[in-house]
Chain A
Amino acid sequence: MTQHNRANSGVFEPSGKIQFGIFFQGVNSGTIWKAAESGSQTDFESFRRIAQTAERGLFAAFFLGEGLRLREHLGRPHGLDVVGRPDAQTMLAALASVTKNIGLVATQNTTYNDPADLAHRLASLDLISGGRAAWNIVTTDNAWTGANFRRGGYLDHADRYKHAEAFVETAKRIWDSWETPAGPARRVLHEGQHYTVDVTPRLPRSAQYRPVLFQAGDSPEGRSFAARHADVIFSAHPKFDDAVEFRKDLVERSLAAGRGANAVQIMPASEFILAPTAGEALEKKEWVRSLQIGPQQAVAYLEQFWGRELSGYDPDGPLPEIDPVVEETSETRGSGFHGAKARQLADQWRAEAKDKGLSIRQFVSSKTARVDATFTGSYTAVADRLAEYARVGAVDGFNISPWLIPTGLDDIVNHLVPELQERGVYPTEYAGSTLRENLGLGTPVRSADETAGAVRAS
């Protein structure tokens, strides 16, 4: 059965394979900057090194995350984690010249960009890279980030997926506009609540027709949006049972959206801590965790919820007895915490830490470590676990965040990939030169007329 038929099938069929992507995130506690081998987060050499390592390991995709305002803590830029990163598409255009097969995925926001401009730049990246570009669609919005933009933070939170819908439809029509590689192009019009677009697109289709679409966003609206539009969902559910559950949910949503059961692939965020033996891997994990959440980061984490300075507290001692000064928990702006009743939360956490005999550091580490997203173990044991994901089709791949830059993929590529290949669940070569080919995605069909891709005004 061809990929195309599989994608249109009404019944989910596992591909029996998994693929890897690498998520170069860089702006949270996941990336270790304190080790001797921690390299630069901005020098091009770090990016070249890790992208070329990923390509050596036949990774499907190289992802760059995006945050359009620096995270803040108690009203100042957050200074304890890695911070500062390049523009995704500019970096990926540069990487296109030193890589050949790996997909280049730019996380780009629908709130602080113009559809015509963003669609043009993504099409451009797609052409420059010979059909390897993808857009990871994110919808994060708030007035606080909007303070960096002419347009401001103009969206109602509830409206952001409606807005994203119109945005993506418009982008698709822009990519769909050229009749042949030589033109002529259809004019694309959109008139909506948030913006109007009137453009005659300038770029032809790429070797993979148009950029592949990834989506990251986990709310029910986000998942349905992915089911309607995305080729791949960058999920937050790597744990086996959750992954199986998530697949079921996404298959239902895809069918409801009129697409095939296999139309949307799933690649959850993940972290790998590997070694030749299980014992060594556990030791390594201790080391990784101690560097991810240092004493100052542990205290800072609590400060977000207490809303006050707690620097006088011993990170290796118990949680603060002192009460929060806020009603609702504040947050490190730019990260994903949600408000909660501060007093209640503090009581709950103190009890929990006391119960388990955890210090501030240990407690925070247990709260922040991506417990579910971490695969720890020997190369062979982890390969066995991943083979099981492939067998049942729990996921189509994993989007790996390395905890070290630029050497963080070395053991995965050198040791885990060969184990997976031996088990027949990982590619042994690139299927083609475009990302679409390498992911086994079908080629989009050009809409019959210019209104076919149109969507109601948002």
Chain B
Amino acid sequence: MSTTEPSRQGFLAIEVDGAGWDGGDFASLGEAVLAAESAGFHAATFTDEPVPGRANALQRAAFAGPVTRTIALIPEVDTVYTEPFHVSTQLASLDYVSGGRAGWIVTAAESPEAAAAVGRSFVSGTALGQEAAASVEVSRRLWDSWEDDAVIRDVATGRYIDVDKLHYIDFDTAADFETPAGFAGPGYSVKGPSIIPRPLQGQLPVLAAASLVGEGQLPADAVDAVLVSAPTPELLAAEVRDVRARVGGSVAVIAELGVVLDSRGQAAAGRPAGFDGAGSAGGRAQYAGSADGLTELLEALLQEADGVRLHPASLALELDELSRLVLPELRRRGALRPPVQDGTFRDLLGLTRPASRYASAAAGAGK
């Protein structure tokens, strides 16, 4: 057990996976996220991997919004087979229903099934990163397309909004992708402005797997945090350092860790390694063992990474052990950032609220 005060404080996220599905009782979804919040987790993430029985991730996050207070709510939302305009509106709405606690894990589905479902051509390879980059750019512009003070409610002049503070975004893959090869997929454009005022956070924090971020893909400056995986816990810290060197200091780095704990008298080794199935555990480091061992590992990881996301083998079992044994001890050691009461997800990441990119522009949408 370490005795020196750690120099860095990090945050912990937990993937709540199919929570709420077991037995079809969605009240348990709200309870699970609230339990994670009470345990001291800073963020809950919601996977949208296409598994039978799993409801839409963004809606699950929205459902948890009104029944929680401080935990950040971060759904995965695909960028390849979705309409960027809808995605942007839905995420901005999530920010409203959660009081500014929304984030976005950008995914790029490499899936012939997802393509066939919407009758589009299958996208693979580097084109995935471009699709993600385009969709993120559309969302970010739309979130800025209403300046903060656009709603003026000026009774004297009869104006509900100041029209000069609304902006067309005029996104166009042809004009906005000057990569050497241009935009690989079928090009598109989005006019704007958004149909919802600027999100409470101004810009939602955008997260993506580190493998999706880089040149010709999703640019590092388009994301606020990257999710880093390694095959084993031992390799994770080094991978975090490598990725940080690659993406630069302004992007938060979050380590990914699967967790199976000794629980209720049963050794972790004897428990199934997760309801994720073997496939998605493939590239991700897994920890199996005692709560003490996990505490040591997390304390060490949080010296390198800004945060760690845990993927529990069983939400109910692991959350119980984590909240009783692991998080209190990490807090005692000073390894965890104190939760920000009534804070936003940006606050958690140490990000200030940015001005709209259009705020200094002289003319509004009508000019």
User: What residues make up the interface of A, taking CB atoms closer than 8 Å to B?
Assistant: 33-34, 38, 42-44, 48, 67-70, 75-77, 79-87, 89-91, 93-98, 112-114, 116-117, 120-121, 123-125, 127-130, 147-151, 181, 183, 185, 195-200, 202-204, 294-297
Q: Is the CB of B24 within 8 A of A94?
A: no
A77 to B195, CA, bound (A): 11
A-B contacts, 27 of them at CB < 8 A, read A48-B66, A70-B195, A77-B161, A77-B166, A77-B365, A79-B163, A80-B160, A83-B160, A84-B151, A86-B89, A87-B86, A89-B90, A91-B93, A94-B62, A94-B98, A95-B66, A97-B63, A113-B86, A120-B56, A127-B24, A147-B189, A195-B118, A195-B119, A197-B116, A198-B116, A204-B53, A294-B158
A433 to B134, CA, bound (A): 42
Interface residue? B44 (CB, 8 A): no
Task: Please give me the 3 A-B residue pairs with the lowest Cβ-Cβ distance, nearest first.
Answer: A76-B366, A296-B158, A94-B97
Mark B186-207 against chain A: 1 for CB-CB distance below 8 A, else 0.
1011111111110000000000
Q: Is the CB of B195 within 8 A of A128?
A: no
In the assembled complex, which residues on chain A have CB atoms less than 8 Å from the CB atom of B53? Answer: 202-204
* Residue among B93, B161, B190 making CB contact with A90, cutoff 8 Å: B93
B366 CB to closest chain A CB (Å) equals 3
A110 CB to closest chain B CB (Å) equals 13
Closest chain B residue to A108, Cβ basis: B86
In the assembled complex, which residues on chain A have CB atoms less than 8 Å from the CB atom of B233? Answer: none
A76 to B329, CA, bound (A): 58
- List CB contacts (< 8 Å) of B65-108 with chain A: 65-67, 81-86, 89-90, 92-94, 96-99
Interface size on B, residues (CB 8 A): 67
Known A197-B117, A202-B53: A86·B63 in contact at CB below 8 Å:
no
Known A87-B93, A93-B59, A128-B59: A150·B84 in contact at CB below 8 Å:
yes
In the assembled complex, which residues on chain B have CB atoms less than 8 Å from the CB atom of A33? Answer: 153, 160
* Residue among A70, A124, A196 making CB contact with B119, cutoff 8 Å: A196
B363 CB to closest chain A CB (Å) equals 11
Q: Is the CB of B116 within 8 A of A199?
A: yes
Q: Is the CB of A183 within 8 A of B119?
A: no
Closest chain A residue to B171, Cβ basis: A148
Interface residue? B30 (CB, 8 A): yes
Q: Is the CB of B55 within 8 A of A124?
A: yes
User: What residues make up the interface of B, taking CB atoms closer than 8 Å to A?
Assistant: 20, 24, 26, 29-30, 50-56, 58-60, 62-67, 81-86, 89-90, 92-94, 96-99, 113, 116-119, 146, 151, 153, 155, 157-163, 166, 186, 188-197, 364-366
Q: Is the CB of B161 within 8 A of A79?
A: yes
A15 CB to closest chain B CB (Å) equals 31
A213 to B89, CA, bound (A): 23
In the assembled complex, which residues on chain B have CB atoms less than 8 Å from the CB atom of A149? Answer: 83, 85, 190
In the assembled complex, which residues on chain B have CB atoms less than 8 Å from the CB atom of A198? Answer: 116-117, 119
In the assembled complex, which residues on chain A have CB atoms less than 8 Å from the CB atom of B83? Answer: 112-113, 149-151
Q: Is the CB of B146 within 8 A of A84?
A: yes
A86 to B93, CA, bound (A): 5
Closest chain B residue to A121, Cβ basis: B56
In the assembled complex, which residues on chain B have CB atoms less than 8 Å from the CB atom of A90? Answer: 58-59, 62, 89-90, 93-94, 97
Known A77-B366, A91-B97, A195-B119: A96·B161 in contact at CB below 8 Å:
no
* Residue among A44, A121, A124, A294 making CB contact with B65, cutoff 8 Å: A44
Known A90-B58, A297-B158: A114·B89 in contact at CB below 8 Å:
no
Closest chain B residue to A199, Cβ basis: B117
